[in-house]
Structure 1
């Protein structure tokens, strides 16, 4: 699974926010952000590229709108079944308007949005990864 459970809304000093379940590795230890994993030398570009491909495949299969990806909102969950990226922000849309609600109810609209945005989001993550791996 490439997401975690949403626990509800909380009030923060910056306004309302969604609280998510903590991302844990299979052994129960806290997962690192993709950024931290790269900085610790745990991944190379080919590994990240494979995990991004798996994430895209999952999002299309389950009609999940991925609106923004970056190396700080992707967590690296490790386990015996392999490593995978978990999205903790950037799903859905920026505002809960009519189109947002339609995409959440009409799978082909969600898939279309993800397919349309994917090249831009992929390149943004690739650039950030390459900057760290230099």
Structure 2
């Protein structure tokens, strides 16, 4: 992503692998509020009672960001998306972990925007489908279409 000059506004920077007491793991920037406290994941906020529907507009903006920069999420999950209420942006979500292309056609989807857009759309729509299936979103909530 550094080579493609992509905005890091909604992606935590990754510094590579490190060995931990739980095994190998990726090291990312710690996403914090101004006072230094770590930002909570959407999963944690939902567990505390915040409905996912509160974040739908911001999730759609995050989706647009992924499309704009052709950033392919390998694993869009509620525990990989953090909410930073203090960001100076209309979208205050940051993805940690779960990025990259696990597709056989990785070269094409990373370099040809139309292939990447299809993969991003599928991942995002699958994320919304699972949220509806799990009762986190109403069944009539809109599913984003692939943008041209």
Superposition TM-score, scaled by structure 2 size:
0.70
- The residue aligned with 1:111 is 117
- The residue aligned with 1:121 is 127
* Unpaired segments ≥5 residues, structure 1: none
Count matched residues: 128
CA RMSD of aligned residues (A): 2.6
Q: Distance in 2 between matches of 1:83 and 1:17?
A: 28
Higher helix share: 1
* Unpaired segments ≥5 residues, structure 2: 1-8, 138-148
Q: Which runs of 4+ in 1 moved over 3 A?
A: 12-16, 125-129
- The residue aligned with 1:54 is 61
- The residue aligned with 1:28 is 36
Greater RCO between the two (CA within 8 Å, min separation 6)?
Answer: 1
Superposition TM-score, scaled by structure 1 size:
0.77
Q: How many angstroms does 1:120 deviate by?
A: 1.2
- The residue aligned with 2:84 is 77
- Any conservation in 1 of the 2:32–2:38 contact (CA below 8 Å)? yes
Q: Distance in 2 between matches of 1:78 and 1:129?
A: 24
Is it true that 1:4 corresponds to 2:7 in the alignment?
A: no
